Amino acid sequence: DSGVTQTPKHLITATGQRVTLRCSPRSGDLSVYWYQQSLDQGLQFLIQYYNGEERAKGNILERFSAQQFPDLHSELNLSSLELGDSALYFCASSDSPGQGTDTQYFGPGTRLTVL
């Protein structure tokens, strides 16, 4: 158990809908990272927050947005969903701002299925 929690575990929805994925980092970690992993693919970095502020952006679509709240949990919002958004979404946390030497601790993921 990494100490990172993600809810829900599974999500099934229809095209055009909007969903929110939630992540709570390990106790004491200030950084939260979001990744997308399509079936049998690698990890695509979406976005990182550090202590409530956006720190880095990866290949995140404009239909997607995220935020980190004062209690450090983070939410990833996916809107106008398309079939291609079906994937596993991981949240990871680390204890520093993202200096390239951070060990990232991953949550169990949310599996999103868009029908």
Nearest Cα to Cα of residue 97 among 6, 45, 32: 32
Nearest Cα to Cα of residue 87 among 3, 8, 11: 11
Report the distance separating Cα 94 and Cα 6, nearest Å: 15
Give the number of other Cβ atoms within 10 Å of residue 60's Cβ.
16
Stretch that binds another protein, among 16-24, 43-51, 63-71, 76-84 (CB under 8 A): 43-51
Q: Euclidean distance between the first and final Cα of the chain, in Å?
A: 31
State in angstroms the smallest separation of the CB of 35 from another protein.
8
Task: Give the one residue of 11, 105, 112, 114 binding another protein; rule: CB under 8 A.
Answer: 105
State in angstroms the smallest separation of the CB of 14 from another protein.
25
Report the distance separating Cα 114 and Cα 53, nearest Å: 29
> Rule CB under 8 A: is residue 42 a binding residue for another protein?
yes
> Rule CB under 8 A: is residue 7 a binding residue for another protein?
no
> Rule CB under 8 A: is residue 93 a binding residue for another protein?
no
Tell me whether residue 38 or residue 80 sits nearer to another protein (CB atom).
38
> Is the preceding peptide bond at 8 cis, omega within 30 degrees of 0?
yes
> Rule CB under 8 A: is residue 89 a binding residue for another protein?
no
Chain residues binding another protein by CB under 8 A are 2, 40-43, 45, 48, 56, 58, 90, 92, 98-101, 103-109
